[in-house]
Structure 1
Amino acid sequence: MVELKSDASLVRIYQGELVGFEVEGHQFIHQKGSPGWRSSDTEMFPIIGPVDQAGFRVQVPRNNAIQDQHGLLRELPYVLISESQNEAVYVKEYRAGTPVENSKYPEKSTKQHLEWPYGFQFEKSFSLKENQLEITFKISGEQGMPFMLGYHPAFKLQTQHPTIVTPTRTISLDEVIEVGSRALQVADTTSITLKDKHHITIQTEGFGHFMCWTEVRNMVCIEPITFYPYAVEQREIHLGFDCLDGDHRIFKVALHPKPQKS
Structure 2
Amino acid sequence: MTTTLKNSNLTAEIKHFGAELSSLKNNKNKEYIWEGNPDFWGKHSPILFPIVGTLKNNSYQYNSIEYNLSRHGFARDMEFELIDKKENSAIFSIQSSEETLKVYPFAFELQLIYTLDENSLHIEYKVINKGASQMPFSIGAHPAFALPGNFENYSMAFEKEEPLEYYLLENDLISNKTKKLAVQNNQIPLTYQLFENDALIFKTLESNSLTILENENPILKVNFKDFPSLGIWTKVNAPFLCIEPWFGYSDTPKNSENLFEKEGIQILNGKQTFHSEFTIEIF
The match for 1:67 is: 69
Note the C-alpha offset of 1:115: 1.0
1:200 corresponds, among 215, 220, 234, to 220
Displacement of 1:201 after TM fit?
0.7
2:114–2:124 Cα contact (<8 Å) kept: yes
Q: Relative to 1, partners in 2 of residues 1:62 and 1:184: Cα closer, same or farther, differing over 3 Å?
A: same
Structure 1 residue matching 2:53: 3-state secondary structure = coil
The letter for the 1-side match of 2:11 is L
Deviation at 1:34, TM superposition (A): 6.2
Return the alpha-carbon distance in structure 2 between the equivalents of residues 150 and 21 of structure 1.
19
Shift of residue 62, structure 1, vs aligned partner: 6.5
Change (3 A) 1:65 1:205: farther
Deviations 1:194-250 (A, max 9, x none): 1136521111243212101111330111111112325x2274463221111461000
SS at match of 2:116: strand
Could you tell me which amino acid in structure 1 is paired with residue 147 of structure 2?
Answer: L
Match of 2:112 in 1: 124
* Partner AA of 2:36 in structure 1: K
- Provide, for residues 14-44 of structure 1, a one-character-per-residue CA deviation record: whole Å limited to 9, x for no partner: 2121111111322110013364210101111
Match of 1:37, SS state, is coil
Aligned partner of 1:5 in structure 2 is 6
Query: SS of the residue aligned with 1:31?
Result: coil
Task: Confirm whether residue 250 of structure 1 aligns to residue 275 of structure 2.
Answer: yes
2:136 matched to which residue of 1? Answer: 146
Query: Is the CA contact (8 Å cut-off) linking 1:205 and 1:251 kept in structure 2?
Result: no
Q: Deviations over 1:47-88 (max 9, x none)?
A: 11123x52x211345643320111122232111111111001
Q: Among residues 15, 23, 30, which one is paired with 2:26 in the alignment? A: 23
Instruction: Note if contact 2:91-2:113 (Cα within 8 Å) is conserved in structure 1.
Output: yes
Residue in structure 2 matched with residue 222 of structure 1 by the alignment: 243
Please tell me whether the aligned partners of residues 20 and 47 of structure 2 are also in contact (alpha carbons under 8 angstroms).
no
Q: Percent identity?
A: 21
User: 2:208 aligned with 1:190, yes or no?
Assistant: yes
- Retained in 2: the 8 A contact 1:206–1:250? no
Tell me the distance in 2 between the aligned counterparts of 1:194 and 1:210: 15
Tell me how far apart the structure 2 counterparts of residues 234 and 36 of structure 1 sit (CA, whole Å).
32
Q: Distance in 2 between matches of 1:23 and 1:41?
A: 18
Q: For residue 201 of structure 2, what is the amino acid of its counterpart?
A: Q
Listed as ranges, the gaps of 5+ residues in structure 2 are: 162-182
Residues 12/75 of structure 1: CA separation in 2 closer, same or farther (3 Å cut): closer
1:91 partnered with 2:93: yes
Q: CA deviation at 1:119?
A: 1.1
Partner of 1:106: none
- Normalising by structure 2, report the TM-score: 0.77
Counterpart of 2:168 in structure 1 is: none
**1:8 Cα deviation from its structure 2 partner:** 2.1
Q: 1:6 to 1:165 in 2, by over 3 A?
A: same
Please tell me whether the aligned partners of residues 33 and 146 of structure 2 are also in contact (alpha carbons under 8 angstroms): yes
1:82-140 deviation digits (Å, cap 9, x = unpaired)? 11110011001113xx335xxxxxxxxxxxx9511111100001100111100000000
| 2: CA distance, partners of 1:43 / 1:224 | 11
- Give secondary structure in 1 for the equivalent of 2:127: strand
- Per the alignment, residue 211 of structure 1 pairs with 231
Q: What letter corresponds to residue 22 of structure 1 in structure 2?
A: K
Q: Which residue of 2 aligns with 1:155?
A: 145
Q: Do 1:88 and 1:125's aligned partners in 2 also have CA atoms closer than 8 Å?
A: yes
Aligned Cα root-mean-square deviation (Å): 2.3
Q: Does 1:38 align with 2:42?
A: yes
8 Å CA contact 1:176–1:212 kept in 2: the answer is no
| Paired letter, 2:248 | F
